[in-house]
Amino acid sequence: MAIQQKSLCPINLALEVVGDRWSLLIVRDLMFADKRHFREFLQSEEGISSNILTERLNTLVEHGVLSKTDDPTHKQKALYSLTPVGIDLLPVITQLGIWGRKHRPVTAESGAPAAALEKGGPALQKKMRAALRKAHLGGR
């Protein structure tokens, strides 16, 4: 399927891939909640519907943010992983979390990952990026 961009502005191009709320929440769940299967994403407390989840997962795979493989432990399940392109969203997710923690009424528990990443700064993000690469790419 050919994709028509409205402009070549880098912000517009990025938003065409991850500009809806669900795409970033899926990436968040892969990064911070170790969710890898369709059913796990469905159980998110935000309450995504199965048809929207299917659409967003397909879009993220199509744009190279995620990869989809057969789960070796179950023939009928797919396993979603972050690609290097998806892992590159870590600073974006981090900054959104920091902003949300500062300006929205989050709980201590829900704001804890953002607080830790803010406190740990670039060193913690580098460490987390390495952990994501190991978990999703086998260390590549």
pLDDT in tens, 106-132: 999 989 989 999 999 999 999 999 999
Q: Say how many domains are in the chain.
A: 1
80 residue type, one letter: Y
Residue 38 falls inside a structural domain = yes
Q: What is the pLDDT of residue 99?
A: 94
Q: pLDDT tens, 4-18? A: 667 889 999 899 999
Residue 86 falls inside a structural domain = yes
Enclosing domain of residue 45: 10-137
Residue 4 falls inside a structural domain = no
Q: What is the pLDDT of residue 3?
A: 60
**Distances, alpha carbon 126 to alpha carbons 11, 78, 121, 123, in Å:** 24, 28, 9, 5
CA-based torsion, 16, 22, 24, 27: positive or negative: negative
> Residue 103's domain is classified under what CATH number?
1.10.10.10
* Averaged pLDDT score across all residues of the chain: 91
Residue 44 has pLDDT above 90, yes or no: no
Residue 1 falls inside a structural domain = no
Residue 2 falls inside a structural domain = no
